[in-house]
Amino acid sequence: MSEPKIQDVARLAGVSPSSISNFLNNRMGQMRPDTQAKIQQAIEQLGYRPNNAARQLKTGVASMVGLLVPSLANQFFGALACAVEAAATRYQCHVMTFSTFRDPDRERAVMADLLAYGVKGIITGSALSDTEHLAAVTSRCPVVAFDIKRNDEAHDRITTISMDNAAATAQAVQHLVTLGHRSIALVTPPPYTLNRQERIRGFQQAVAAAGITGELVIADATDGPSDPHGDTRLFELGRSAASRIVTSSARPTAAIAINDMMAIGIGVGLKQLGRRIPADISLVGIDDIFFCAAHDPPLTTLRQPIQAMADAAVKCILAPDDKPDGALFAPELIVRSSTATPPQP
């Protein structure tokens, strides 16, 4: 059976091919909402996909993939962008990267621009709990989301790529318990995102299984209304959270940060408060960004296999017949000198 054409969509929707073209290129200023709904329904019913190759031959536009990340201020997402670019280059494809600050309205606007540009697919670097706006795009192009596990029917139309976030914090707890720690804090920005929620779940389950004290420290990000998730201020949120760790009634001898940027901030804050790492408090991060090895002392962390995850995400878009839908990657514990046995009472 041949692929549906724009004329087939127009016939089913009862509109002209030029109306379909305007819809596909997001030129809908004069188009009635009911007409837009008919076109969207026809596209979904026929499984129509725009012929991006033909469009690129006509316009001279190179093959593109869109990448949406919360903020490039977090070095992890800079590394992810480089990894996606490296993977896309193997398919002679370019990458357009945008910081969206986890704002659904901004994500919708950026995705509309990317669709108008004729991208082959969209990758989102860290998904919010509500993915409806991502699912809505899947009839127009493939969407790959990091940090979603394939266990929710709400994500059925989205291809998912993720590190096992719960396993990351669980491994961190197990490492610290093996060293002898009995009171551990987990420090996180507001847990609005799926990966943060999973990391909290892994931590809580691991401390419960070990029979030790686990304290959740949620850094306050309300003083930054333009960044309620704290993505652009992770270092400062970590630094300010250090005082809550040292004054906690649970007296934690170790802290796990939700990511490395926050861990580095915690490390600076602890030193400013006169605490030694790891002699007084052990410290663990997650991601294994470049700065971990340069931290004083070098930071123990859980490594995300960034390049392997990026390769899988790009393959889902550019080589869909070989896509690893629902891929879940294992974290790797990287032990450095920021963790040690707890201080003697």
CATH number at residue 113: 3.40.50.2300
Of the residues 269, 288, 304, the one at which a domain ends: 304
pLDDT recorded at residue 339? 98
Quick check: 93 and 115 in contact, CB under 8 A? no
Domain count, the chain: 2
pLDDT recorded at residue 35? 87
Q: Are residues 310 and 261 in the same domain?
A: no
pLDDT recorded at residue 153? 47
More confident residue, 161 or 22: 161
pLDDT recorded at residue 26? 59
Distance CA 124, CA 309 (A): 12
Residue 31, domain member (yes or no): no
Q: Are residues 182 and 252 in the same domain?
A: yes
Closest CA to 259 of 223, 288, 290: 288
Q: Are residues 300 and 240 in the same domain?
A: yes
pLDDT recorded at residue 60? 44
What's the mean per-residue pLDDT of the chain?
87
| pLDDT over 70 at 97, yes or no | yes
Q: Are residues 196 and 213 in the same domain?
A: yes
| pLDDT over 90 at 146, yes or no | no
Where is average pLDDT lowest: 193-207, 228-242, 299-313?
A: 228-242
Residue 280, domain member (yes or no): yes
pLDDT recorded at residue 141? 87
How confident is the model over 78-101, as a mean pLDDT? 93
Q: Are residues 126 and 182 in the same domain?
A: no
| pLDDT over 90 at 5, yes or no | no
More confident residue, 230 or 314: 314
How wide is the angle at C-alpha 126 spanned by C-alphas 122 and 132, nearest 5°?
A: 65
pLDDT recorded at residue 325? 53
CB-CB neighbours of 309 under 10 Å: 21
Of all residues in the chain, the percent with pLDDT exceeding 70 is 88
CB-CB neighbours of 33 under 10 Å: 8
Name the token pair of 297.
Answer: 């002392």
More confident residue, 286 or 46: 286
pLDDT tens-digit readout, 26-73: 566 678 888 888 888 888 888 887 665 445 544 444 589 999 998 888
Q: Are residues 286 and 220 in the same domain?
A: yes
pLDDT recorded at residue 59? 47
Q: Are residues 273 and 320 in the same domain?
A: no
Find the domain containing 87 and state its range. 52-164+306-329
Q: Which are the contacts of 279, defined by CB distance < 8 A and separation ≥ 6?
A: 340, 343
- Highest average pLDDT, of 112-121, 153-162, 225-234, comes from 112-121
Q: Are residues 323 and 210 in the same domain?
A: no
pLDDT recorded at residue 27? 67
How confident is the model over 290-308, as a mean pLDDT? 95
How confident is the model over 282-304, as a mean pLDDT? 96
How confident is the model over 89-95, as a mean pLDDT? 91
Q: Are residues 233 and 171 in the same domain?
A: yes
pLDDT recorded at residue 25? 64
Closest CA to 265 of 206, 222, 221: 221
CB-CB neighbours of 115 under 10 Å: 18
Closest CA to 125 of 73, 51, 177: 73
Residue 1, domain member (yes or no): no
| pLDDT over 60 at 150, yes or no | no
pLDDT recorded at residue 217? 96
